[in-house]
């Protein structure tokens, strides 16, 4: 499914956060979104995940408009992680991932009350799937600890497993390597390629341009609310406008 | 703390091997244990008091028959012996201090000098003071051959403890002038007992066993609860007290769903108990009890949705205010007899007892005491509430509630329709309270608005927090404590709220996750 933003604008009072931004996330592949601080990356991200409705413009997923409601967007197939990790800290790691699976689990309240065979089957299936996602992101599926007690890097991985458990068509990662060292960043890069190879489209927001250029199939550069450049990493990297936006003009 | 964590702690350096008490004898602690033993055998009251001999022949007469060590003296001897073992020292010491302080306070109040009291108190303080910092042991989990008898023994022990705590000190001041002291001292002993077991990892071990053999454990627990009438607590009076506790415990479990699982602070929850009670009271003369009970549950559930609806817009403190207002609206409406449904200040009297198959529930059955049937009904109610809480907690719905409690925005982003989930939490919680309310009405025979004021909501909330939010036994433990204590300590009724407050502060300081908590 393709996630498309068409001429999306977002205004907060007089402030124009996004202006006529268009972006297409193809059904597979890794799309990078970079830009200096305050460029509107997070605002665009919030529109693409249903958190806020754009002032004008259209966002569609697989041809149908994306509901401006995070729960419905997730059900539609857009899953996300958070820049500052937001796990359900007191819940177990497995339960965190199971919450990500919430919208794909079919259970009736009555079935849960009497623990009917159908209910137990669906619980077993969901737990198996959650364990598989934990194993996929490289964590021990049998860990029983509360998620909040894991290390920083492992918490990021749980967030990714939680998002993957909901069978997303598009996975949105908000600065997945924030606060990580070189080796950890490389490991996350490998993980993201693994997600792409499962046929899930990935959108990555990052400050780390090196990481984005080595990882993505397609890169968008957002500057002051406008889409400045887009294209394959090699061409975007050498574009003088991008260098200017990041480093400023050479004065001589 | 989970079992895994405990194992790590024990194996880690600074755990088992670094326990200094193992290597060099702790003379002060041993002296403390010796003082406790000596104190237990010394006279506690120097003369026979006007109200009769102090509990357990604690006067000089004691030396007529020193081999008859019973009651709190027996407890002190046991705790003194336990104080010799490193791990048990601290809980045993706390128990000794509680017993000594309680008896000393009563003896001072009665104007009687005491010899044994101060000695035991010093011994207890020494035991607590010389505490070795030892983490709980982690015991291996046995197979079924050993696990089932262990669970049977554990629940039988629990039954004994509950029965002994209920009956400690007799049922009123009229029959036993020293009842308050005996009861409080027994609580100290019970606390020490549980503490010692916990220090040796037995409680964690039993919790893990219960978890593994869930159905067996639940059956045994239910059987033990129904056996209470054949213990020392099997009188009509204690059956009435116990069934009242059961009704409140079931209500507290319902509140635990709303507050503990979904994290929605509800300050007017007792209104749902009231709605169920008034509905059943109005229907009592026209329909059989099961119908009235279902109607009470349904009406309360309906109002649960009514209160739940505003939760879609407000959060946290604001939600608490909305629920507080709802509780107050209900209370005032009931007080003013709006619609002629609540009887106002006259209450609704003359509600007939539940009658099934020609047997009225307030009459004795065979050799069993009167009120036994209400007690059995209350036990079933609590059991049903427990099943609802546990089964929902480990389901899609329960996980969604917990996710909302932890971070509502993220729960939404994960596909949880939070509005529906929150209303469902209110619906389930209110339905359970309504059902409990119907039993409440029939059991009391009279329902008046005074039973549902704000302080009752606070007490229920305190029961949930005290016991441990989100845990199943927590609400039962909390409700039992909060509704047994006033019954047992009528002489302190003026200080009730102050003592509650004090207990809550202490719990929040030393066990912030409640008395029963998994981690």
Q: What is the reported pLDDT for B438?
A: 93
User: What average pLDDT does range A9-36 have in this prediction?
Assistant: 90
- Reported residue count of chain B is 519
* Residue A112 to residue B399, Cβ atoms within 8 A: no
pLDDT digits (tens, 9 = 90+) for B211-240: 888 888 888 888 888 888 877 777 778 888
Question: Given a cut of 90, is residue A14 above it in pLDDT?
Answer: no
CB atoms within 10 A of CB B225: 23
Q: Which domain holds residue B20?
A: 3-212
Give ipTM to 2 decimals. 0.92
Shared-domain flag, residues B182 and B326 = no
* Residue B396 to residue A71, Cβ atoms within 8 A: no
User: What average pLDDT does range B281-296 have in this prediction?
Assistant: 90
Of A98-107, B21-30, B319-328, B453-462, the least confident: B21-30
Shared-domain flag, residues B282 and B426 = yes
Q: What is the reported pLDDT for A1?
A: 82
Q: What is the reported pLDDT for B68?
A: 65
Q: Chain B contact for A115, CB < 8 A?
A: yes
Q: What is the reported pLDDT for B434?
A: 95
What is the residue whose two structure tokens read 């894991």? A150
Shared-domain flag, residues B297 and B158 = no
What's the pLDDT band for B296 if we cut at 50, 70, 90?
Answer: very high
* Residue B407 to residue A86, Cβ atoms within 8 A: yes
pLDDT digits (tens, 9 = 90+) for A151-184: 988 999 999 999 999 999 999 999 998 888 888 8
Contact A221, A32 (CB under 8 A): no
Give contacts of B418 with chain A, Cβ < 8 Å. 71
Give contacts of A79 with chain B, Cβ < 8 Å. 414
CATH fold of A24-77+168-252 reads Rossmann fold (3.40.50)
Question: Given a cut of 90, is residue A194 above it in pLDDT?
Answer: yes
Contact B204, B136 (CB under 8 A): yes
B384 occurs within a structural domain: yes
Can you state the percent helix, strand and coil of chain A, rounding each to 5? 40, 25, 35
Contact A100, A167 (CB under 8 A): no
Crossing angle of helices B214-226 and B144-167, in 10° steps, is 30
Q: Which helix (H) or strand (E) holds A220?
A: strand A218-223
Question: Which stretches of A53-105 are DSSP H helices?
Answer: 70-76, 93-100
pLDDT digits (tens, 9 = 90+) for B89-125: 888 888 899 888 888 888 887 777 778 888 888 888 8
* Residue B416 to residue A51, Cβ atoms within 8 A: no
Q: Chain B contact for A99, CB < 8 A?
A: yes
Among all residues of chain A, which has the CA nearest to that of B384?
Answer: A113
Q: CA-based diameter of chain B, in Å?
A: 76
Distance in angstroms between the alpha carbons of the first and the last residue of chain B: 4
Pairing mode, strands A64-65 and A56-61: antiparallel
Q: Chain B contact for A142, CB < 8 A?
A: no
Where among B212, B230, B262 does a domain terminate?
B212
B233 occurs within a structural domain: no
B223 occurs within a structural domain: no
Angle formed at CA B360 by CA B355 and CA B361, multiple of 5 degrees: 95
Where among B411, B427, B451 does a domain terminate?
B451
- Which residues are CB-neighbours of B310 under 8 A, at least 6 positions away? B319, B322
pLDDT digits (tens, 9 = 90+) for A53-67: 999 999 999 889 999
Q: What is the reported pLDDT for B329?
A: 92
Distance of CA B386 to the CA centre of its chain: 14
Q: Chain B contact for A85, CB < 8 A?
A: no
B230 occurs within a structural domain: no
Q: Chain B contact for A89, CB < 8 A?
A: yes
* Residue A51 to residue B413, Cβ atoms within 8 A: yes
Distance of CA A187 to the CA centre of its chain: 17
Please state the domain extents for chain A: 24-77+168-252
Question: Given a cut of 50, is residue B4 above it in pLDDT?
Answer: no
What's the gap in Å between the CA of B389 and the closest CA on chain A?
Answer: 9
Contact B157, B142 (CB under 8 A): no
Give me the number of domains chain B comprises: 2
**Overall pTM surpassing 0.80 (yes/no):** yes
* Residue A144 to residue B388, Cβ atoms within 8 A: no
CA distance A71 to B411: 8
Q: Chain B contact for A217, CB < 8 A?
A: no
Question: Given a cut of 90, is residue A131 above it in pLDDT?
Answer: yes
CA distance B136 to A186: 41
Q: Which residues of B touch A (CB under 8 A)?
A: 2, 4-5, 387-388, 391-392, 394-400, 402-403, 405-407, 409-418, 424, 519
């Amino acid at each position: 499914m393709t996630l498309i933003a068409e001429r999306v604008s977002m205004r907060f009072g007089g402030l124009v956060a996004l202006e006529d931004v268009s972006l297409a996330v193809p059904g597979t592949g890794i799309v990078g979104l970079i830009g200096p601080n305050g460029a509107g990356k997070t605002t665009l991200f919030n529109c693409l995940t249903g958190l806020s409705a754009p002032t004008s413009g259209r966002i569609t997923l697989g041809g149908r408009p994306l509901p401006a409601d995070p729960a419905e967007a997730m059900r539609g197939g857009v899953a996300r992680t958070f820049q500052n990790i937001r796990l359900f800290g007191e819940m177990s790691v497995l339960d965190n991932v199971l919450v990500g699976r919430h919208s794909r689990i079919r259970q009736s309240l009555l079935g849960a009350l009497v623990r009917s065979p159908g209910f137990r089957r669906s619980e077993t299936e969901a737990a198996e799937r959650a364990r598989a996602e934990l194993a996929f992101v490289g964590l021990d599926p049998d860990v029983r600890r509360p998620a909040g007690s894991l290390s920083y890097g492992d918490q990021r991985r749980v967030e990714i497993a939680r998002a993957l458990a909901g069978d997303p068509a598009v996975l949105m990662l908000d600065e997945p390597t924030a606060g990580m060292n070189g080796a950890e960043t490389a490991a996350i890069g490998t993980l993201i390629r693994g997600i792409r190879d499962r046929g899930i489209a990935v959108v990555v927001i990052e400050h780390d341009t090196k990481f984005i250029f080595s990882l993505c199939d397609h890169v968008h550069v957002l500057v002051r609310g406008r889409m400045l450049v887009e294209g394959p990493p090699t061409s975007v990297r050498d574009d003088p406008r991008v260098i200017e936006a990041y480093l400023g003009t050479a004065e001589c | 703390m989970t079992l895994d964590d405990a194992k790590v702690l024990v194996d880690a350096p600074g755990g088992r091997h670094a326990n200094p008490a193992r290597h060099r004898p702790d003379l002060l602690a041993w002296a403390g244990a010796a003082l406790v033993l000596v104190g237990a055998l010394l006279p506690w009251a120097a003369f026979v008091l006007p109200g009769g001999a102090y509990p357990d022949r604690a006067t000089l007469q004691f030396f007529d028959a020193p081999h008859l060590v019973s009651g709190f003296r027996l407890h002190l001897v046991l705790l003194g012996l336990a104080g010799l073992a490193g791990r048990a020292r601290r809980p045993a010491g706390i128990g000794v201090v509680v017993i000594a302080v309680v008896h000393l306070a009563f003896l001072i109040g009665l104007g009687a000098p005491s010899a044994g009291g101060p000695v035991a108190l010093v011994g207890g303080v020494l035991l607590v003071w010389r505490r070795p910092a030892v983490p709980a042991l982690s015991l291996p989990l046995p197979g079924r051959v050993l696990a089932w008898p262990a669970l049977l023994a554990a629940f039988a022990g629990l039954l004994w403890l509950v029965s002994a705590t209920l009956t400690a000190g007799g049922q009123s001041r009229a029959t036993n002038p020293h009842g308050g002291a005996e009861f409080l001292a027994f609580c100290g002993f019970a606390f020490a007992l549980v503490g010692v077991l916990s220090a040796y990892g037995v409680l964690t071990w039993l919790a893990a066993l219960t978890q593994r053999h869930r159905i067996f454990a639940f059956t045994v627990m239910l059987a033990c609860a129904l056996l209470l009438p054949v213990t020392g607590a099997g009188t009509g009076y204690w059956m009435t007290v116990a069934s009242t506790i059961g009704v409140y415990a079931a209500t507290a479990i319902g509140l635990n769903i709303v507050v503990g699982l979904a994290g929605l602070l509800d300050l007017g929850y007792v209104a749902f108990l009231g709605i169920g009670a008034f509905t059943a009271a109005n229907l009592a003369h026209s329909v059989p009890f099961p119908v009235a009970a279902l109607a009470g549950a349904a009406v309360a559930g309906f109002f649960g949705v009514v209160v739940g609806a505003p939760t879609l817009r407000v959060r946290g403190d604001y939600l608490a205010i909305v629920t507080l207002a709802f509780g107050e609206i209900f209370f005032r409406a009931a007080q003013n007899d709006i619609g002629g449904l609540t009887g106002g200040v006259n209450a609704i009297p003359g509600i007939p007892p539940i009658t099934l198959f020609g047997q009225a529930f307030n009459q004795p059955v065979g050799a069993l005491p009167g009120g036994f049937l209400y007690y059995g009904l209350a036990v079933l109610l609590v059991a049903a509430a427990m099943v609802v809480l546990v089964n929902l907690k480990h389901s899609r719905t329960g996980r969604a509630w917990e996710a909302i409690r932890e971070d509502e925005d993220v729960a939404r982003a994960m596909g949880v329709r939070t509005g529906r989930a929150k209303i469902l939490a209110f619906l389930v919680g209110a339905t359970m309270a309504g059902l409990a309310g119907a039993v409440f009405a029939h059991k009391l025979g009279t329902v008046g608005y005074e039973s549902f004021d704000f302080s009752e909501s606070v007490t229920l909330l305190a029961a949930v927090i005290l016991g441990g939010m989100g845990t199943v036994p927590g609400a039962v433990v909390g409700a039992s404590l909060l509704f047994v204590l006033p019954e047992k300590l009528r002489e302190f009724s003026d200080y009730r709220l102050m003592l509650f407050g004090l207990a809550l502060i202490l719990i929040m300081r030393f066990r912030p996750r409640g008395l029963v908590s998994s981690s």
